[in-house]
Structure 1
């Protein structure tokens, strides 16, 4: 399977995000990356935007609806939000949107910090496999994969996409 170039996607996403924010008269958004791939995408996106804005980070592990099934991942780190959430226009950034459950968890966590004025969702890839009614406002590319296929973001620099076939990986 041929995967898109993350650097080209980020460049186009920067253009699309500028236009999206401009249409909504959002001049000082607060950027938040979801650990881990979302942070890498956010850093690359901020660079493409030429922005020096602080980057908040979220680790949504405790907010996942499958936390009780999966338990605590050994690499869980605290979220770090170097700005207020209340009343702010947030740009929430993730690498791969699949079921929508990570984004739901991120929104739950953000609302525990306050009520934002708006949340714009930006994803490098949308795998078109949603289980929840969640869609990105800005997306690099949309892919449709078979149930046993995945795409993983490798990084942080350079960013690369790796195709994974779960049925052959088990062999």
Structure 2
């Protein structure tokens, strides 16, 4: 794969997350009974950044959890090639029943990851509402799922791949498009 373009740099990611934080507060009329749940791996770091911005804006903390969807994936047998899946575990620090849960992920593509995350959440509790926030929506949905909050819509072809890199893991903040060279 070769890099085609950087579509979001560090400042653009920061601005997108700040805008999403404001939209979350506005849509939910504050943050009462709201929990941010990051989908492992990069969704967790985005959830933490959103929680920081929400605290700066509202002056109140919002609860954060993380969700491992490994065992809920419908493509598990395709991805693991008869190896045991690596389960990282979920950590949601409160009962999500009757809470507004905002799932956070880096890229929305087919919708299958989000479907798996919703299944995992329902096994944990019964939220009053599930909303979805993503840094990038690249289209190509296979399931009827849409994000409530989007940092940037980036239409892509099926030969392209979106790569999100975050400081916490990759030591750089950027979103790039790569072209498959097969």
Structure 2 length-normalised TM: 0.84
Deviation for aligned residue 1:34? 0.3
Distance 1:70 1:166, change over 3 A: same
Deviates more, 1:43-52 or 1:78-87: 43-52
The partner residue of 1:66 within 75, 82, 92 is: 75
Q: Tell whether the 8 Å contact from 1:31 to 1:53 is kept in structure 2 after alignment.
A: yes
Q: Tell whether the 8 Å contact from 1:7 to 1:159 is kept in structure 2 after alignment.
A: no
- For the aligned residues, what is the CA RMSD? 1.8
SS in 2 for 1:121: strand
Q: Tell whether the 8 Å contact from 2:70 to 2:86 is kept in structure 1 after alignment.
A: no
Q: 1:48-82, CA deviations, whole angstroms, 9 ceiling, x for partnerless residues? A: 11253331101101100001221267653001111
Q: 1:112-165, CA deviations, whole angstroms, 9 ceiling, x for partnerless residues? A: 112110011111111111110000111111110111111111114453212211
CA distance in 2, matches of 1:41, 1:123: 9
User: Is 1:96 aligned to residue 96 of structure 2?
Assistant: no
Matches within 5 A, 1:12-91: 12-22=19-29, 27-50=32-55, 51-71=60-80, 75-91=86-102
Flag the structure with more relative contact order, 1 or 2, with Cα contacts below 8 A and sequence separation at least 6.
2
Deviates more, 1:156-165 or 1:96-105: 156-165
Deviates more, 1:99-108 or 1:45-54: 45-54
Q: Tell whether the 8 Å contact from 2:54 to 2:62 is kept in structure 1 after alignment.
A: no
Q: Runs in 1 of length 4+ with deviation above 3 angstroms?
A: 72-76
SS in 2 for 1:90: strand
Q: Tell whether the 8 Å contact from 2:72 to 2:116 is kept in structure 1 after alignment.
A: yes
Residue ranges of structure 2 left out of the alignment (5+ in a row): none
Q: 1:6-26, CA deviations, whole angstroms, 9 ceiling, x for partnerless residues? A: 11111111111111111xx76
Structure 1 length-normalised TM: 0.89
Q: Tell whether the 8 Å contact from 2:74 to 2:116 is kept in structure 1 after alignment.
A: yes
